[in-house]
Chain A
Amino acid sequence: MSFEPRIIGFLCNWCSYTGADLAGTARLKYPPNVLGIRVMCSGRVDPGFILEAFRAGADGVLVCGCHPGDCHYVEGNYKCLRRIPLTKTLLQGFGVDSRRLRLEWVSASEGALFKDVITSFTEQIRELGPLKLKEWNFDPAMPDVVYAGTKLEAAHA
C-alpha cells in the first residue's frame, strides 16, 4: 500500500478557511490528505499545536493565513510569520525535517491557490515519507509537557 500522508492544516477563519470553502464550492479537486482545523487567526496557532500535531501522528503541518497586510485582525499573520521559523528550529532539534512544516498565505478568493498549496505540500510530504515520531519511546511524562495548560487547569478545577 502506498504511503498516504496525514497532514494537519491550521486554517484561519477569514482567508484560508474561506478559500478552502471556495475551492470546495468551485468543485476543485485536491488530495484529501490535509485535515483542516479552523482557528480564528493564524496568530492563534500556538507552536504547541504544531508540536502536538506531530506528536499525535501527523506527517506534516500546514499553516495558512491571510496575505501580509490583509489580516482580518490587522496583524495576527505577522505574529504567525515570526513564530513559524522559530518552530522550525525547534522541530529540527527534535529531529523532524523542517520541510514538514509550511506556512502559506491563501486569501478568501484563492480557491485555486489553496488547491495548489495542498497538492504541492502533500506531494512534498509524500516524498519525505512517514514521520516515525510515534515509534520513538516517549517518556510517559512527555505528554504532560505538551499538555501543560490542561494539566494546570485540571489541577485548579
Chain B
Amino acid sequence: MITVTIDGKEAQVKEETTILNAARELGIKIPTLCYNELLEPYAVCRVCTVEVVRGKRTRLVTACNYPLRESVTVHTNSDRVKTLRRMNLELLMAQAPDAEIIREMAAELGVTLVRFSAKDPTNKCILCGLCVQVCSEVVGMGAIGMRERGSKREIITYPDLCILCGACAKFCPTGHIKMTDIGGRILHSELTLGPNAAISLPFRQAIPNVPRIHQDYCIHMKTGECMLCAKVCTKNAIDFDQKDEFEEIDVGAVIVATGFQDFDPTPMKQYGYGKFPNVLTAGEFEQMNNAASPTGGKIVLENGKEPRSIAIFHCIGSRDDNYHKYCSRVCCMYALKFSHLVKEKTNAEVYELYIDMRAFGKGYEEFYHRLLEEGVNVIRGKGSEVVPVTRKRAGEGELLVHCEDTLIGKFREIPVDMVVLCTALEARADAPDLARKLNISVGADGWFIEAHPKLAPVSTTTDGIFLAGACQGAKDIPDSVAQGGAAAAQVLRLVSQGELFLDAAYAVIREEFCSGCKMCNGLCPYSAISFDEVKKISVVSTAQCKACGTCVAACPSGAIVARHFTDEQIYAQIEGVLA
C-alpha cells in the first residue's frame, strides 16, 4: 500500500493503481473522454491530464494510465492543468466541432474562442481509437483500423469483417458511430428500442427473473471474444458453456394455453399502418400507456407532443369478410378503456368508430354510459380510410379519417392527430403444428376446437389434453381465467383419482381365431398390439388401445373385436336403418 495525496486528500491505495481510479475512490472527478473502464487505457484524448509532484519534480501525466508506484502528490485542478485542458479542448473542438460532449466540456471549462479552424464542421470523431480497440480486443474481429499519420490520420473500416454487433457504436465517446436500421418500419420513435442487447431479461415478470444471453446477438457466441459481462459480474454467474437442452418430462395431462397473436394491419393499406407514424395498433398504444414504457405512460405523438385528437377504429381484421369473420370480443371494451385513458391523461378529443358496441359483460354497459358522459364521440360506422390532411388548419390534426356515420346517414371527415387500430385477435400461426403434435383439432378460424361447445368446453378430443384461454377462441381476461381454472380442475380430477379409468371401447383379439399373421401389429398407430411368441398370436394391450378399429377392419380372420363397435353391431345398424 502507498499513500497518495490528491487535491489535498490523502488515500491509501494498492500499488499500480492508476491516478484516475485512486481519485475516483476519493470522490474526485477527473474528466475523461477516451477512457472506458472495460478496456485498457489508451490515453489518447489527454483530457484526463493531471499534475504529479514527486519531490521537487512536477510532471503532467494522463491519469487514466499512470500507475502509482510511490507516494506522490497529485493536482487535478491546478492552473497548469486547467490551462492545458483548455488548450486540449480547443484542439478537440477544431477536430470534432459537432460532438456534443466536447462542446459541453468546453463550455464547462470556459472555452469560448477556438483559435484553430475546423476541418469538417460536421465531424464528431476525435480519433481516440476506442472503436479500433474494441473491435480488435473485445470483439476480436478487427474490422476497424487507422490509416496515415498526423493531420491525415483517419479511421477505416473493413465491412467484410463486420458482424454488426454494435460494440463500436456503444463505446464511441462522442456518438460518431451510429447503428441505423436501414429499411426498418417507421414506428413511434419512443417505441423504437433499437437493436436488442444480447443479455437481457426476457420480460419484466419472467420466472426465473434472471437475464439470459441471446445467442444471435452475443459477440462471444460469434467470435469467442468479448466476455465483458463475465468481467463485470461480481458473482461469477455467467456461464458461456451452457447449451440448449431438451428435457423430457412425463406428464399425465396437458393444458394448452398458447394464447393468440395480434392481427397485422399492414395489408390493409387504407389505414396507412406502417406509413403514417401516428397510426398505431392497439398493442402499441397499450404499450405506450404502460407506466414502464419508453414514454413513461404518456400518450404522445411521434414528435413528442400531446395529441389533440385521437380516432379509435374498432374491428380491424375482425368482423371483416376479407380477414376474419368472427368478432374478437375484447376490442369494444378495451377501446372504451383507451378512451378513458386518453380523457384521463390528455385533453384530446376521442372518436370511437364502431360497427356495434358490444358491451356484454358485468358492468360493461355502465362503463360505456360513463364514457358517453365523459364526452367521448362515438360514431356508428367503421372507419374506412386514413389519409394525410391536404389543407391544414390551425389546431387540427394531420390525419384525415373518413367514415360513414350511419346514425345520421352522412359521410364524415375527421382530422385527428393519432389513429389507434383495434386489431383482431387471431389464432397463432403455429397452432396447426401444435395441434398435430397434440393430436387435437383446429377449426376453420385457426382456434383449437373443444370437445363440445357446451358440455365439454375445456376438453379436447384427445384424453388428458385441455384448453384454456384465447387459444380456444378470442376471449377476455375474466373468461380466460375462468377457463384456466376449469382446465386445472379437470387435470386435478385426473391426478387425484390416482388411477386411470379406461374407456370401455377397445379391441380384443379372440385367441382361437388369431392365425398369428401379424398383419395388425404394424397397423396400430399406438403400438398397442404385440406378438406373443409363445402362443404365436397377437395380443392387444388394452391400456394402450384407443379403439380406432383399424386392426379390426384389417384382420383377415375376423379375430379382432372392437368392443362397442363390433361387426355384428354395425351390421345390425345397417340392417336397422335400411329396414
A contact set with B: CB distance below 8 Å: 6, 8, 14-15, 18, 25, 35, 37, 39-41, 43-49, 52-53, 56-58, 69-70, 72-76, 79, 83, 107-110, 147-150, 152-153, 156
Contact = CB atoms under 8 A, between A and B. Distances in A.
Contacts of B526: 73-74
Nearest to A41: B548
Interface stretch (B50-58, B409-417, B435-443, B494-502): B435-443
B523 interface: yes
B182 to A, nearest CB: 41
A44 B574 contact: no
6 contacts: A37-B573, A43-B549, A73-B548, A83-B553, A147-B571, A148-B558
B509 to A, nearest CB: 13
A123 B547 CA distance: 34
Given A44-B565, A56-B575, A73-B548, A109 B553 contact: no
Contact of B574 (A8, A75, A109, A150): A8
Nearest to B503: A40
A109 B444 CA distance: 6
Nearest to B461: A14
B550 A69 contact: no
Given A8-B577, A108-B449, A43 B567 contact: no
Contact of A149 (B523, B525, B567, B577): B567
Contact of B550 (A49, A79, A107): A79
A83 B547 CA distance: 19
B441 A15 contact: yes
Interface of B: 435-436, 439, 441-444, 449, 453, 461-462, 505, 512-513, 523, 525-526, 546-550, 552-554, 558, 562, 565, 567-568, 570-571, 573-575, 577-578
Contacts of B449: 108-109
Contacts of B546: 73
A15 to B, nearest CB: 7
Contacts, number: 107
A73 to B, nearest CB: 4
Contacts of A35: 577-578
Given A37-B570, A39-B570, A43-B553, 6 more contacts: A15-B441, A18-B461, A72-B461, A74-B526, A76-B548, A109-B441
Contacts of A41: 548-550
A73 B549 CA distance: 10
Given A8-B577, A109-B443, A149-B558, A40 B525 contact: no
A57 B578 contact: yes
A72 B550 contact: no
Nearest to A156: B512
A8 B558 CA distance: 23
A44 B547 CA distance: 9
Contacts of B523: 79
A117 to B, nearest CB: 15
A78 B336 CA distance: 51
B574 A56 contact: yes
B550 A73 contact: yes
B567 A40 contact: no
Contacts of B435: 70
4 pairs of A and B residues whose beta carbons are closest in the complex = A44-B549, A43-B550, A73-B548, A109-B443
A58 B577 CA distance: 10
Contacts of B573: 37
A48 B567 contact: yes
Contact of B553 (A8, A14, A44, A107): A44
Contacts of A75: 525
B525 A76 contact: yes
A107 to B, nearest CB: 6
